[in-house]
A and B are shown apart, each in its own frame.
Chain A
Amino acid sequence: MTDAPRPSPVPAPEDPTWSEIVWGQFRKRKVAYGSMWGVVGLFVVAVYAPLFIAEKPFLWNAGDGWSSPWLATIFDRTVYPSGIDLFFNALLVFGTLLAIPLAWMWRRTAPLPRRPRGLVRRRWLTGALLAWFLSLAGALAADLQRGEVYYEELEARLEKDGTPPTAVWPMVRISPRNTDVTATMAPPSGKHWLGTDSAGRDVFARLLYGTRVSLTVGIFAVAIYCTFGTVVGAVAGFFGGRVDALLMRIVEVVICIPSLFLVLAVAAFIPKRSIFHIMLIIAVVAWTGPARLVRAEFLRLRELDFVASARAAGFSKAQIIFEEILPNAIGPVLVSATFGVASAILVESTMSFLGLGDASVPSWGQILATGRATSSWVLILAPGFAIFVTVSLLNLLGEGARDALDPKLRS
């Protein structure tokens, strides 16, 4: 007995996968494609902000050898007290370090032929991600706190003493946290490009570092609630019946409470607000969106043939949910997630504007509130413009993704 001839496991090279189709459609839309690069640009700005604006020199030699205060304090909790800063600095340092070998390997793991080499690329990606994650965990656990050395003053003092040090400084020698009571509400000048706020802090620096806060809040809050909402929606849509009815009642309860109301009530409940609580608050309010979307998709998809055949083939329920249906249902969730990031940023800045946000991190809404109280055009327009740019880029991206995913708009 010979085995029946089996079809080749490698699909013909002409048939593109679904993700390739979507990606192709996305690239054809110039505006959306451009906005994607815009968002990447924002991300780059957020990650590489310390390269541009920092108070510590890159290189320092006061006569007793070379050192790099900038690098030494990049994970120091005294200089960067917020967890957000640590996260982005980890991206800055370790991410860049890991990106180099990754980029080199990218070309070499180009998909051709697909299956065997594709695995390798995925392995490299996961390896890089894991390495980065471990380094971030290490930085957080180390909890470095070595005290603050004010290098500018040191330099001035040494120069006065006649032994000037050699130092290589970043382009703008300012920290977003340093207050200066002698120069509050200063107008824009050579030293402070956008002037200072009511405590003497540099506005431009706060604007730049505020990008970190906004992106973090947007992305993390969305990640949390999309995951949670998807799971809930999947369970509700797949099992139907009473499970569905119960979960949908809960969803209705949450929807019926006006979102700002819920935000205020939960904010009152947590007196000490940190940026993580704010993410939680946004997640609590917004998880119903993806839940309903995924549920609708599941209700539609579970009646189709491929599910029936998977069931007949003996796949377990979990397998069916996660491997068969979910990949098909994920499209609308991704679109909603992109719009969700934009709306999360708006909610966070509104909360900061109303005084409900986290006061220890620079937030665009808070700068605007100061601008309104002191009636200063710079402090009103600058963060407003920043929010506008971020939100519109994300909205454009979302629209592009939606159009790319829509089979009716294939060109």
Chain B
Amino acid sequence: MLQYAVKRTLWMFPTFFLITMVVFTLINLAPGNPGGAEAEQQGGTTTSDAVRLFKQQFDLDKPILLNTRWALTRGDVRERIVVAHRLEGRAPTPAQLIAAKDALADDGNYLVQHLVGLLAEDPAPEIRALAADYLTRSASLPFVSERIGDPTAARDENRTRGAYNEAFKGWRCADGDAACLSDVTGKWQAWWEKERPRYEYTAGEKAWAFLFDTRFANYWWKLLHLDLGVSPNTRIPVLDTLLSKMKYSVSLSLTAVVLAYLIAVPLGVYSAVRSGSRSDTVLTIGLFVLYSLPTFFTGTVLLKLFADGDPLTWFPVGGFQSDAKELPVTTLGYLADVTWHVTLPILTSTSVALAALSRYARSGVIDVIRADYIRTARAKGLEEPIVIVKHAVRNGMIPILTLLGGFLPVLVSGSVVIEVVFTIPGMGSYLVDSINGRDYNAVMAVLLASAILTLVGILISDLSYALVDPRINLD
């Protein structure tokens, strides 16, 4: 038993890693950029620095999973420059143009050795001038994140790098200025003599870059330092936003689950015991109807019936609590206010959970009631209530309890539909907004929370199932 538990726990880690890889790749491959892309809208060189820094900060200039930029050749780089600036009579489509420009901006340090080569040896002067221009950007070292490790050391490092980048900022030339070009070429040559080892990669560095100079690797690096990142859209640390939204979702889901269990179990037992009677039939039909209604329908109808004035206005139209001025000060008053607000959402979410659970409860108890050992207990002369409570319920509840583990992830991801219908600022709507806004860090954070809870939930489910059912042999 213990062996099984340990084995399963160990398996959780590679599974978790795979999950993050799949979702990370998926969300990063989706077309479109996070909100900062609006800065790109205004084209032209004045903004390219800003975009470049934005991308560096969020690793958007790196490839997603595997990095092959160390395999570029001088010919590739030359080709890109020619396409990006429509030289040599080329007429690329806008998409090709943008792709070439982006590649030249993103590949950064990997281009330096080729650009230096082009600057020294290429016959066309425009290409040499452009190479010098790109060098001022590609040769600059990116800033380190001050959120990981020692911030003072990071700040010092950034100061050094800033000075380093400043040194060659002006080594570029306007079109056609031959004197400037030869002057600048000389400067770059001298610089290259000193800095060569930094930008020419050994085999080991290439192998390292292949696996670890990627978005995914950087994400995991930050994760191992427990830094969930900053949202590219709002610039707030994702963890803070997540926690602030989680309290709404968790409260709602928890209450709904607890209520569902509290109602489902007695209902199921009652239904099973009185199986076949009229009340059982009515109950079964009622619960079946609940089960077949979509959540968004129930929510919308309830809202319109009871809150919209069509015909009643017993409940508020949405939200989680009243405005600050009307918020009661005492905890009890606060609880009452929140309850008033969340009655309809909880009613909606409970109804679905309830329907499913009570059917399991009923069938579980029915199975047990028909079993032989119950007949034995009755034959032994035990009273009916004792028979039911002592044997039937305890054994019939086994399948339901193992479902409990499955509810853990629901606590976190919340219900998107309910949050949309009732305007609750919880995790579900946060997730939808983040996916739409391509807020990669937020999406990954929500996923991590759900995935961890799901894995733990499954583990608990399986373990408890093994624990309570003697027939299961795990080895």
A contact residues vs B (CB 8 Å cutoff): 249-250, 252-253, 255-258, 260-261, 264-266, 268-269, 271, 342, 346, 349-350, 353-354, 365, 368, 371-372, 375, 377, 380-381, 384, 387-388, 391-392, 395-396
A354 touches B416 (CB 8 A): yes
Inter-chain CA distance A261–B443, complex, in Å, is: 9
Contact A388 B450, CB 8 Å, known A256-B15, A271-B31, A380-B297: no
Q: Which residues of A contact B22 (CB under 8 A)?
A: 253, 257
Residues on A with beta carbons closer than 8 Å to the beta carbon of B304: 375, 377, 380
* Cα(A371)–Cα(B304), bound, Å: 11
Assembly CA distance A385 to B19 (angstroms):
38
Contacting residues, chain B, for A380 (C-beta < 8 A): 297, 300-301, 304
Query: A-B pairs with the 5 shortest C-beta distances?
Result: A392-B292, A384-B297, A268-B30, A391-B292, A256-B454
Q: Which residues of A contact B31 (CB under 8 A)?
A: 271
- Looking at the assembled complex, report how far the CB atom of A406 sits from the nearest CB atom of chain B, in whole angstroms: 11
Question: In angstroms, how far is the closest chain B Cβ from the Cβ of A201?
Answer: 21
Chain B min CB distance to A254 (Å):
8
Chain A contacts of B23 at CB under 8 A? 257, 261, 265
Is residue B260 contacting chain A, with contact meaning CB distance below 8 A? no
Contacts known (A353-B296, A354-B416); A257 close to B27, Cβ less than 8 A: no
Which of these, B26, B416, B428, B458, contacts A265 with CB under 8 Å?
B26
**B197 on the interface (CB 8 Å rule)?**
no
Residues of chain B within 8 A of A350, CB atoms compared: 294-296, 417
Give the residues in chain A near B300, CB-CB below 8 Å: 368, 371-372, 380, 384
Q: Which residues of A lie under 8 Å from residue B293 when comparing CB positions?
A: 384, 387-388, 391
Check B344 for interface membership: any CB of A closer than 8 A. Answer: no
A368→B417 CA distance, assembly (Å) = 13
Decide if the interface of chain B is mainly helix, strand, loop or mixed: helix
A388 to B285 alpha-carbon distance, docked (Å): 13
Q: Residue B451 at the A interface, CB < 8 A?
A: yes
Within 8 A of A (CB), among B299-319: 300-301, 304, 308, 310
A257-B22, A257-B451 in contact; A395/B431 too (CB < 8 A)?
no
Interface-central residue, B289, B300, B409, by most chain A CB under 10 Å: B300
Known: A256-B454, A258-B409, A391-B292. A264 touches B435 (CB 8 A): yes
List the B side residues contacting A354 at CB < 8 Å: 416-417, 420, 432
User: In the complex, what residue of chain B is closest to A346 when comparing beta carbons?
Assistant: B294
Residue B288 at the chain A interface, CB threshold 8 Å: yes
Asked if A256 and B30 sit within 8 Å, CB to CB, the answer is no
A269 touches B15 (CB 8 A): no
A372 CA to B294 CA, complexed, in Å: 14
Our pick among B11, B409, B454 for the contact of A249 (Cβ within 8 Å) is: B11
Chain B residue nearest to A347 in the complex (CB): B294
Tell which of B15, B26, B420 touches A252, judged by Cβ atoms closer than 8 Å: B15
**A250 CA / B417 CA spacing, docked (Å):** 28
Q: What is the chain A residue whose CB lies nearest that of B457?
A: A256
- Tell me the bound Cα distance from A232 to B294 in angstroms: 31
- In the complex, which residues of chain A have a beta carbon less than 8 angstroms from the beta carbon of B27? 265, 268-269
Residues of B within 8 A of A384 (CB): 293-294, 297, 300-301
Given A256-B455, A257-B450, A372-B300, answer yes or no on A269-B26 (Cβ-Cβ < 8 Å).
yes
Q: Is B54 an interface residue (CB 8 A)?
A: no
Collect the chain B residues with CB atoms within 8 Å of residue A256's CB. 15-16, 19, 409, 450-451, 454-455, 458
Given A253-B18, A264-B432, A258 and B30 contact (CB-CB distance below 8 Å): no
